[in-house]
Structure 1
Amino acid sequence: MTHALPGYVCPEDGTRADVRTAPWCCPVCAGPWDLDFAPDPQAPLEPASGPNSLWRYASALPLPGAFSVSLAEGHTPLVPLAERVHAKLDFLMPTLSFKDRGAVMLAELARRLAPQRVVADSSGNAGTAFAAYCARAGLQCEVFVPAGTSPGKTDRMRAHGAAVRVVPGGREAAAAAAREAADLPGVFYASHVFNPYFLHGTKTYAYEVWEELGGRLPEVLVLPVGNGTLLLGAALAVRELARRGVRTPALIAVQAEAVAPLAAAFAAGARDAAPVPQRATSAEGIAIPAPPRARQVLAAVRASGGTFLTVSDARLHEARRDLARRGLFVEPTAAACWAAVGPGAPGDPLAGRTAVLPLCGAGAPSGPTA
């Protein structure tokens, strides 16, 4: 029932808005929304009694009542990579990336709001996820992608029934085009950056780690960061689980060396990140020059006692080959965390602590390993 949906709140100026009538961003500062929601720490959290999907954490999710949109997403396995280090295989999601976690939440939200159409912007994986889940929900979907997006990914979006709009320029140009469309009446903007319901989907990553480790979290969560949606979701879950007495881990954020505005800001002790040039990198999924939630990402990492690491493309390719030789074939971006903390990584970033890292996206079936 839409009247029970938690509303939006701006983290910068406190502006509040009803989810049914709100613009896609804060009308005062034009920044992304947060959600006016915190699960009751006394409410039973018994995932084993729920469905074999992320909806098993329904009591911690902001969409009340029965859900109807699902492809059995979530509940992905943990496998050991090294002593005290596990990988979570989120590339085993229905559309082969962790973006399913947030996409299913936004598709269920949109289904309840019943817009005329859903628009999204993406460089690949998010667009594929939105196309699939909108198809599942019976919603008309339009995805704006930057020129140069993998034909394999745009073909998959179209296969799910989405209209794909190729926008000249890079990732920011595609986002601008989608936001222009989002301002029209009857349009729901399924933004994995601006809409906080997406973050409450990605937080299930950390809830699953907690469940899979027998009701605890590792000492470190290593997470790739571009826009920071997986890290911010994990930080949400960590805070919520802390209210249930669970020990909190440090968050280690990993960026591509070529495009690392957040790592630079963290090193400088800055509260916000200055935009950086868009440079070529194999880790295109995290190559975001000006992340809108930069302040929140920096604050979350600092509050956890964590840090930022960067990886070169050469190191990324080494890590990807190493993962493939361990039976795990992932896209380049998905190898970033292993590149940062795995064999051959400079220093000793984990310092012997237990850690979990995600393998976020599957490698193309016929793609090279380097």
Structure 2
Amino acid sequence: MVSPAVPAAEYLDPRTGERFPLLPPRWRSDAGAPLLVAPGRTVVSDFGASAAPEAPKSLTTAAVAERGVWRYRSAMGVGEGVAPVTLGEGGTPLVAGDWAGEGTRFKLEWFSPTGSFKDRGASVMLTALRDQGVTAVLEDSSGNGGAAVAAYAAAAGMAATIFAPASTSPAKLRQARAFGAQVELVEGPREASQEAAIAAEAAGRGFYASHNWQPFFLEGTKSLAYELWEDLGFRAPDAVVIPVGAGSLLLGCALGFRELLAAGAIPRLPRLYAAQPRNCSPLDAAVRGPEADPLERPVAPTIAEGTAIRSPIRLPELVEAIRESGGSTAAIPEDGIAAAHAELARHGLFAEPTSATALAGHAELVARGEIRPGETTVVVLTGSGLKAA
């Protein structure tokens, strides 16, 4: 079956409804807001699958014959004739974890080429930007995003400069440098790195390809939703627990599952849950209301450095995604993150502390009765423990 024709992709400001062509490339709207790629698409017809539980697992077209993120390319806003910048990202294992509760599964995103889920977004973002004529990119990152952008820029033949907090784990910085990226350390909070990268773009040093701002990054992370749908035999899980900082993986899942729902491939959205360190938990504060007043929760250092984003630029969209799905949030103290990290290791899963926040969040959600025994729940482990050894 051939997918029906869809309009050409364009940028959309979801807060104002304003649309922009893909050329010239841009990373924000005229109103200064983050963008999406519109319209949403689906690959359901490419798979020969339907909403029926007995939908075949086999694939039917050459377009989806490959493993990984680009298996779902017809759901992305990248032209069919554009050669992807790929290193084999996606197609990560989904393993049983009943020791954490009946029906629990872990998605091991550290099997991606640079060791984190950020490779999904970097592959699609750098593919789109190279097609748009960009030759040098600027990124701000606390580690994993910078490593991913550096790797895929190298694969694309593009120059990359990564602006990182001076406190970033040395292993992550070494990885970005190994790919040939220029790394510039910035003193101060995470936001200071963003300001430095934007200033560098204003000075003509390259295009600001932030994984937090760039909408094509979300086109890559939404592949996780499609992949889970396929992993589970063309079914959506009941719940997905994700560690959240800026929220690109949670938003990607929201986009992908919305598209599957609109296509009739799933009967309902899975509940999306965000796990954050209590020391930096603005989304939990925004979702849970007065009892989680962010003014009563000062930001402090956290071992889950990948989620240390005090002001997520897509906060309204994150809140909407969680509420739309019927999900919620959990804010975890530092000792809870450390305990979850050790618990994962005892079961053979060596995750970075940021990922362990998701397991701790899962335990809290079970204790609160929001995740029930026997439900199919996916806990996403976003990055390798080798990065924070």
Q: Do both share a fold (TM > 0.5)?
A: yes
- Partner residue of 1:214? 233
Conserved? CA contact 1:50–1:57, under 8 Å: no
Which residues of 2 match residues 109-188 of structure 1 at below 5 A?
109-185=128-204, 187-188=206-207
Q: How many angstroms apart in 1 are the aligned matches of 2:234 and 2:259? A: 13
Shift of 1:21: 1.6
* CA distance 1:324–1:23, shift in 2 (3 Å): same
Match status 1:38 vs 2:40: yes
Shift of 1:341: 1.6
The partner residue of 1:288 within 294, 309, 312 is 309
Conserved? CA contact 1:45–1:59, under 8 Å: no
Match status 1:13 vs 2:16: yes
Shift of 1:346: 3.9
The partner residue of 2:385 within 353, 363, 366 is 363
Residue type at the aligned position of 2:86: S
- Partner residue of 1:26? 29
Q: How many angstroms apart in 1 are the aligned matches of 2:239 and 2:305? A: 24
* CA distance 1:285–1:340, shift in 2 (3 Å): same
Residue type at the aligned position of 2:385: G
Residue type at the aligned position of 1:296: E
Which residues of 2 match residues 77-92 of structure 1 at below 5 A?
77-82=93-98, 83-92=102-111
Question: CA offsets per residue over residues 93-135 of structure 1, 9 Å max, x none?
Answer: 1000000010001110121122241111100000000000000
Conserved? CA contact 2:84–2:123, under 8 Å: no
Conserved? CA contact 1:263–1:308, under 8 Å: yes
* Comparing 280-289 and 131-140, the one that deviates more: 280-289
Q: How many angstroms apart in 2 are the aligned matches of 1:228 and 1:115? A: 25
**Which SS does the other structure have where 1:258 is aligned?**
helix
The partner residue of 2:357 within 296, 316, 336 is 336
Q: How many angstroms apart in 2 are the aligned matches of 1:335 and 1:232? A: 20
Shift of 1:84: 0.3
Shift of 1:86: 0.2
Q: How many angstroms apart in 1 are the aligned matches of 2:132 and 2:204? A: 13
* CA distance 1:366–1:297, shift in 2 (3 Å): closer
Q: How many angstroms apart in 2 are the aligned matches of 1:134 and 1:207? A: 25
Q: How many angstroms apart in 1 are the aligned matches of 2:294 and 2:128? A: 31
The partner residue of 1:321 within 296, 319, 342 is 342
Q: How many angstroms apart in 2 are the aligned matches of 1:296 and 1:257? A: 21
Shift of 1:68: 3.2
**Which SS does the other structure have where 2:174 is aligned?**
helix
Q: How many angstroms apart in 1 are the aligned matches of 2:303 and 2:8? A: 39
Identity across the alignment (%)? 39
Q: How many angstroms apart in 2 are the aligned matches of 1:134 and 1:210? A: 29
**Which SS does the other structure have where 2:331 is aligned?**
strand
**Which SS does the other structure have where 2:200 is aligned?**
helix
Q: How many angstroms apart in 1 are the aligned matches of 2:108 and 2:44? A: 30
Conserved? CA contact 2:10–2:22, under 8 Å: yes
Q: How many angstroms apart in 1 are the aligned matches of 2:387 and 2:141? A: 21
Conserved? CA contact 1:341–1:349, under 8 Å: no
* CA distance 1:40–1:259, shift in 2 (3 Å): closer
Match status 1:68 vs 2:87: no
Conserved? CA contact 2:242–2:379, under 8 Å: yes
- Partner residue of 1:303? 324
Q: How many angstroms apart in 1 are the aligned matches of 2:200 and 2:298? A: 26
Conserved? CA contact 1:276–1:290, under 8 Å: no
Q: How many angstroms apart in 1 are the aligned matches of 2:255 and 2:364? A: 30
Conserved? CA contact 2:243–2:276, under 8 Å: yes
Q: How many angstroms apart in 1 are the aligned matches of 2:295 and 2:233? A: 40
Structure 1 unaligned regions, length at least 5? none
Structure 2 unaligned regions, length at least 5? 1-6, 49-57
Supply the RMSD in Å over aligned alpha carbons.
2.4
- Normalising by structure 2, we get a TM-score of 0.87
Q: How many angstroms apart in 1 are the aligned matches of 2:357 and 2:44? A: 37
* CA distance 1:304–1:149, shift in 2 (3 Å): same
* CA distance 1:334–1:76, shift in 2 (3 Å): same
Shift of 1:349: 3.5
Conserved? CA contact 1:275–1:290, under 8 Å: no
* CA distance 1:354–1:127, shift in 2 (3 Å): same
Question: CA offsets per residue over residues 279-336 of structure 1, 9 Å max, x none?
Answer: 1111111121110100000011001111111111111111111110111101000111
Shift of 1:183: 3.1
Shift of 1:155: 1.2
Conserved? CA contact 1:262–1:273, under 8 Å: no
Question: CA offsets per residue over residues 311-370 of structure 1, 9 Å max, x none?
Answer: 111111111111101111010001111111239964333122220011100012782xxx
Q: How many angstroms apart in 1 are the aligned matches of 2:44 and 2:335? A: 48
How many residue pairs align between the two structures?
A: 362
- Normalising by structure 1, we get a TM-score of 0.92
Question: CA offsets per residue over residues 6-56 of structure 1, 9 Å max, x none?
Answer: 22111112222222224421222x111111222157742368442122100
* CA distance 1:110–1:275, shift in 2 (3 Å): farther
